Structure 1
């Protein structure tokens, strides 16, 4: 498992046959009886060298069932749906968790419950993460495959220089520590750097939700009757907004971050790598890149669970699932490949985290990335927000804009909280 090393670019094979059948084929050029399955994934080729290695290993060990990996990046779930509805498409498809529900319908995905019962996954299903994202209408439509979340990224030397012995375990402690780091270094090292722009996709979204979830709130939730409603009080939401605004007001976070949209932005990544920022947060893929930059610059970076990250449901769980095209001519063979892809064997070369708490314990992980491993079993998906009359994207835009308005002085925390709650209530009416 080589999380910290750059993936080797691999040549990916595409399905060249366009027909009304799925891409699986018993090619006349192959030995008689050989089944060729098309597996499609959407991550960049530069990030899946280890996956290509795992598939090569499968092909060498299974001459009668060959797998061709097809890369279609970025993700285009609508294209897969169109293909499947016309009777074509790959046999096995990599699917974002939030897209599974969209594909859980006839002629798109094959329900997998019978296969799970008759030919179980290695390690069973009890330790699988994100099962709520792949089950629709009482059936399982895909298998959780990879998992990711945000972990706290920190510089041990920067913390130690400020008299801090270990990374913070609560949000309150993070604010105190970040302020102390900024102050004790006379501003040379920022305590906490996070993306805080008001754009629709600003990654402050994750920190905001983590803070709310760890304090017992949520932006929206279902009541006992199944009705969607706002899930946080005006006072609690005002406190959350003020918490993040105070990070800038006290100098704990650099004000320049108010224009930054993503955790991978050079403003944050370079600051971490050079030691001018002590703490931030990032998913595994971003941490791998920043960690390599830091090593080159002579800076040590580690990960720890986010504040309250060991509390169930206080952080989010993202990742990918694997689904089987309902049109495949070889469902049993496709299932055997899915079982292989979710096994520890695949993840020994594929630089991702498995969506199985059990498999996580079977793999060697660099010490610097232990924060992800510790936190993942406690993370919960954004399924908690799915199903209301308001899309997650709409909620995210509303929240990011109102929080940022407070940072810039255009609004007070109480005004922003009221505007968010009014917007949520209106959106939940449909």
Structure 2
């Protein structure tokens, strides 16, 4: 089975819905046809392949017709309001981190009985992210797509510096990045990553990956359910100093301290034109970057992140599928979910399935094998969910403290202490 490369952006015949508009539950029209609505939140330009897959379903199932609705960006609160008022789509795409918020019989239907009566091919053992979709012994949504960050590199830039293969550890990355920057006379930055101190800076991913691969985590829960910091002051100081040294050694340009996102042109264009050797990107950004690099006469490819083949050293993101408790056709909705989770859907939908078995059935381009190798070892941010401190608050605190050292406003030790103090206060509620 082929994992298709992204199709050209085309007009997408989807139904756009206005905020707070009530969608009726499915009903049987003339001839006994069941009409279901499926809502998703990704931009239309990214779901051309999904529309193709649903067109194939509708052609093969004349008695179960699915209408694709797009409401972007993600708005779990709206779906909750609709479900509580007796409306909303029959099937809803849900971010993994939103499942716990929606996991109530007033919003979603538990899926265990549906799966038991009409099992998934191969069962549920190969599903990823079940720690976020199964709550209090009930399955509230099915893991559907999976994504993570992979190391993206320009092979020409590595080769020019005498480096034969991408780094396998963070320590190797630091050494290789310094060598690339030095050997190129500063024309090629060895590593480019978003390092701003903004609340949502994507430097957050690198911070966590480094900590996780070195036996630490920002917060942890003990057997009694109590939350505390998951790293010592020494571990946090070491992590902060590691990234700070990337700037002082020349491995990373100081200009990256103002960059917030991995899709920033300074990073994407740098990889494509060879002025940046390595970074990290999710699959959705890589596919566009690869096209840009090809047009520029170079190539980019992926590898696992440093220590990315160690279980739990990288994050697992993605989307789940849930069934609205108001639907009148839960069994038909379940049939559609099974199809959406199958390899048939991922022939055209350029996401990765959250199912290890389905993932092995896809023919993925060699340049994207870094994601395929790493995904089975990735672990969700569910490890941070459940304390009095939200994940977004932890993210903001970490980004601020790490950035304060990059910019010279604080020492690594002082920033580590401030980070620990902030976590202690936040975890107390």
- In the superposition, the TM-score normalised over structure 2's length comes to 0.97
Whole-Å separation in 2 of the counterparts to 1:181 and 1:305: 19
Whole-Å separation in 1 of the counterparts to 2:390 and 2:21: 35
Match of 1:220 in 2: 219
Residue by residue over 1:3-62, the C-alpha shift from the partner in whole angstroms, topping out at 9 and shown as x without a partner, is 45545441103579x9988431223xxx41000000000111111110000000000110
Residue by residue over 1:119-148, the C-alpha shift from the partner in whole angstroms, topping out at 9 and shown as x without a partner, is 111221111000001011110000000000
Match of 1:50 in 2: 49
**2:415 matched to 1:416?**
yes
Whole-Å separation in 2 of the counterparts to 1:286 and 1:132: 26
Whole-Å separation in 1 of the counterparts to 2:416 and 2:283: 32
Q: RMSD across aligned C-alpha pairs, in angstroms? A: 1.4
Whole-Å separation in 1 of the counterparts to 2:282 and 2:258: 20
Helix, strand or coil for the counterpart of 1:90?
Answer: coil
The answer as to whether partners of 1:80 and 1:89 remain within 8 angstroms in 2 is: yes
Match of 1:185 in 2: 184
| 1:63–1:76 CA distance, 2 compared to 1 (3 A) | same
Consecutive unaligned residues in structure 2, runs of 5 or more: none
Match of 1:206 in 2: 205
Whole-Å separation in 1 of the counterparts to 2:21 and 2:359: 40
Match of 2:241 in 1: 242
The answer as to whether partners of 2:23 and 2:89 remain within 8 angstroms in 1 is: no
Match of 2:193 in 1: 194
Match of 1:393 in 2: 392
**2:85 matched to 1:86?**
yes
Match of 2:109 in 1: 110
Helix, strand or coil for the counterpart of 2:31?
Answer: coil
**2:428 matched to 1:429?**
yes
Q: How does 1:287-302 map to 2 (within 5 A)?
A: 287-302=286-301
Helix, strand or coil for the counterpart of 1:245?
Answer: helix
Match of 2:310 in 1: 311
The answer as to whether partners of 1:190 and 1:254 remain within 8 angstroms in 2 is: yes
Shift of 1:157: 1.2
Aligned residues: 426
Residue by residue over 1:225-247, the C-alpha shift from the partner in whole angstroms, topping out at 9 and shown as x without a partner, is 21101000100100000000000
Q: How does 1:271-420 map to 2 (within 5 A)?
A: 271-420=270-419
Match of 1:149 in 2: 148
Match of 1:139 in 2: 138
Whole-Å separation in 1 of the counterparts to 2:75 and 2:17: 16
| 1:20–1:267 CA distance, 2 compared to 1 (3 A) | closer
Shift of 1:116: 1.4
Helix, strand or coil for the counterpart of 1:396?
Answer: helix
| 1:328–1:194 CA distance, 2 compared to 1 (3 A) | same
Whole-Å separation in 1 of the counterparts to 2:221 and 2:304: 28
Whole-Å separation in 2 of the counterparts to 1:273 and 1:118: 50
The answer as to whether partners of 2:17 and 2:70 remain within 8 angstroms in 1 is: no
The answer as to whether partners of 1:3 and 1:365 remain within 8 angstroms in 2 is: no
Match of 1:128 in 2: 127
| 1:418–1:15 CA distance, 2 compared to 1 (3 A) | closer
| 1:376–1:6 CA distance, 2 compared to 1 (3 A) | farther
Whole-Å separation in 1 of the counterparts to 2:162 and 2:7: 32
Residue by residue over 1:323-375, the C-alpha shift from the partner in whole angstroms, topping out at 9 and shown as x without a partner, is 00000000100000000000000000101000011111101111111000000
Whole-Å separation in 1 of the counterparts to 2:66 and 2:23: 17
| 1:64–1:407 CA distance, 2 compared to 1 (3 A) | same
Further displaced range: 218-227 or 339-348: 218-227
Whole-Å separation in 2 of the counterparts to 1:277 and 1:319: 28
Match of 1:11 in 2: 13
Helix, strand or coil for the counterpart of 2:109?
Answer: coil
- In the superposition, the TM-score normalised over structure 1's length comes to 0.97
Further displaced range: 193-202 or 117-126: 117-126
Helix, strand or coil for the counterpart of 1:146?
Answer: strand
Whole-Å separation in 2 of the counterparts to 1:15 and 1:186: 53
| 1:162–1:67 CA distance, 2 compared to 1 (3 A) | same
Consecutive unaligned residues in structure 1, runs of 5 or more: none
Q: Which one of 22, 25, 34 corresponds to residue 23 of structure 1?
A: 25
Q: Which one of 2, 14, 18 corresponds to residue 4 of structure 2?
A: 2
Match of 2:73 in 1: 74
Shift of 1:162: 0.8
The answer as to whether partners of 1:22 and 1:327 remain within 8 angstroms in 2 is: no
Whole-Å separation in 2 of the counterparts to 1:157 and 1:123: 42
